[in-house]
Structure 1
Amino acid sequence: MRKQWSLKTVYGNYLIFWLIWLVVQGYLKGIQTQYTTGMANDLINVVVKAVIWISLGLFWFSRTQNQLWLSKKKLYNSRFPIEFWLALVIFIGYLFMSMWIRHHGFYITTHPFTKEGGNFLSVTLAAGLIEELVFRGFFCNFLLTKYDMLTAIMIQALLFQAIHFPIYWAEGLSLMGWVANVATVLPLGIVFGWIFYRSRNLWPSTILHCVWDTAIFLFV
């Protein structure tokens, strides 16, 4: 019989994951600054993130398959509760107003595939799909069997926030940049965790995540 994973084991694996991601972000930044631009950056980011995050996620799932709140086979299903639709409407309304206030009208970035425009695929699709699999699909899913709902959601949101710190460091964000990002990412992590809990389905939080990232990237 396979040994059950404790919280200590899960947190230890997260720490290893965090350190790996810190090293990778620093290395990627050096490569992309010197040798690659535009779409090449985008594809490198997508491939590297997919390989590291999905490999670790599948490993964690295999080791904890009998300890999860929602089994791996049931993660993606057809449950879309009213809370998801309300959150989607709120997201779209808020993002539309943010675009209008910031740009004084309708706006869409004119260079989504260039170095200056950022990483289109890695931001609009890969981030939502991969990050939700790991943080809501595994971490929140596991923590819900160890803590009450509120505590589990708060802890997974903090873990979700912390994995962004290597990115902020690699990007050389200012103090205000760190504060602004934390003020956005942490609440989003809470919302995504709560939507996952309410829906018992990974699609709603994934859709919300992709909608948010895509709108921020293209319109805001």
Structure 2
Amino acid sequence: MTKNNKKTTLYLIIYIVLFFFIWTVYELFVKPTITSTFNEPLGEIIRSIFKIMVWIVPCIYLLKKNNDNVYVSLDDLFTNKIKWLNYLPLFILFTIFLLGGSWLQYGNLAVRDTFQPHQLIGSFLLVGMTEEMVFRGWLLNSFLTKMSTTLAIIINALLFLAIHFPVYLYKGVLLEVIISGQFLQILILSIIFSITFIKSKNLLVPIVFHMYWDLLAILFYT
């Protein structure tokens, strides 16, 4: 392992530890305080700003610092040409799976009463961008230069699942998610997002798929 590679690995370890610690504290203590203190959509805006500062800003800095030790450089991360028609089957699969599941669960395809317009900020626009920036744009992007593609995807998927644990813990559904097997959906989605990033070498692809999934979920599921 080269000196630069060792340095990047150290950055990764420190980043993962700090990132998971900060986000756990946020989900368990800071986010509930913001939610109970501020009405919507102000609360959503404050939470969104916090997420950008924790998720996006450090990733951009680290990518700049380690530009030569990642799978796709920061300069190319959003500029590599995308052949969108190649991903049409996946769009169709997502649509059939989510709309079909909604129809089976509720007996119709109506927008759910639980949907609130402010969710389009935090649950649609922001989640896809921030989570893909961290888990595909930075973590997977770095893992791919240090291990096999398969191992990089697996580790990335496990970390992606783990970042959801704090909110599950706060809501008291962590055990239910594990026992019911709902966690498998997150692992599978992470693998799909990772493969689309590796194939396209453009972060916009997993971002778009992530946002599309979240949009259908918040519209058609409670």
- Is the pair's TM-score, using the shorter chain for normalization, greater than 0.5? yes
Tell me, yes or no, if the aligned pair for 1:75 and 1:200 is still in contact at 8 Å.
yes
**Would you say 1:36 and 2:47 are equivalent positions?**
no
Tell me, yes or no, if the aligned pair for 1:83 and 1:198 is still in contact at 8 Å.
no
Tell me, yes or no, if the aligned pair for 1:81 and 1:198 is still in contact at 8 Å.
no
Q: Which position in structure 1 is the counterpart of 2:119?
A: 119
**Would you say 1:141 and 2:141 are equivalent positions?**
yes
Q: Which position in structure 2 is the counterpart of 1:105?
A: 108
Alpha-carbon shift at residue 71 of structure 1 (Å): 0.6
| Paired letter, 1:197 | I
Q: Which position in structure 1 is the counterpart of 2:153?
A: 153
Identity of aligned residues (%): 25
Give CA deviations for 1:124-172 in whole Å, capped at 9, x if unaligned. Answer: 1100011111111111111111111111111111111111112212233
Q: Distance in 2 between matches of 1:119 and 1:170?
A: 19
- Count of aligned residue pairs for this structure pair: 217
Q: Distance in 2 between matches of 1:41 and 1:172?
A: 22
Alpha-carbon shift at residue 174 of structure 1 (Å): 4.9
Q: Distance in 1 between matches of 2:86 and 2:32?
A: 42
**Would you say 1:197 and 2:211 are equivalent positions?**
no
Alpha-carbon shift at residue 88 of structure 1 (Å): 1.3
Alpha-carbon shift at residue 9 of structure 1 (Å): 3.5
| Paired letter, 1:23 | V
**Would you say 1:185 and 2:186 are equivalent positions?**
yes
SS in 1 for 2:63: helix
Tell me, yes or no, if the aligned pair for 2:132 and 2:206 is still in contact at 8 Å.
yes
Equivalent residues in 2 for 1:4-83, closer than 5 Å: 5-77=7-79, 78-80=81-83, 83=86
TM-score, structure 2 normalization: 0.88
Alpha-carbon shift at residue 119 of structure 1 (Å): 3.3
Q: Which position in structure 2 is the counterpart of 1:210?
A: 211
User: What are the ranges of 5 or more consecutive residues in structure 1 without an aligned counterpart?
Assistant: none
Q: Distance in 1 between matches of 2:191 and 2:4?
A: 32
Tell me, yes or no, if the aligned pair for 1:196 and 1:202 is still in contact at 8 Å.
yes
Equivalent residues in 2 for 1:168-183, closer than 5 Å: 168-179=168-179, 180-183=181-184
Q: Distance in 2 between matches of 1:186 and 1:174?
A: 15
Tell me, yes or no, if the aligned pair for 2:197 and 2:203 is still in contact at 8 Å.
yes
TM-score, structure 1 normalization: 0.89
| Paired letter, 1:103 | Y
Tell me, yes or no, if the aligned pair for 1:112 and 1:120 is still in contact at 8 Å.
no
Give CA deviations for 1:91-150 in whole Å, capped at 9, x if unaligned. Answer: 111111011111101210235337xxx833111110001111111111111111111111
Tell me, yes or no, if the aligned pair for 1:38 and 1:119 is still in contact at 8 Å.
no
RMSD: 2.2
User: What are the ranges of 5 or more consecutive residues in structure 2 without an aligned counterpart?
Assistant: none
SS in 1 for 2:67: coil
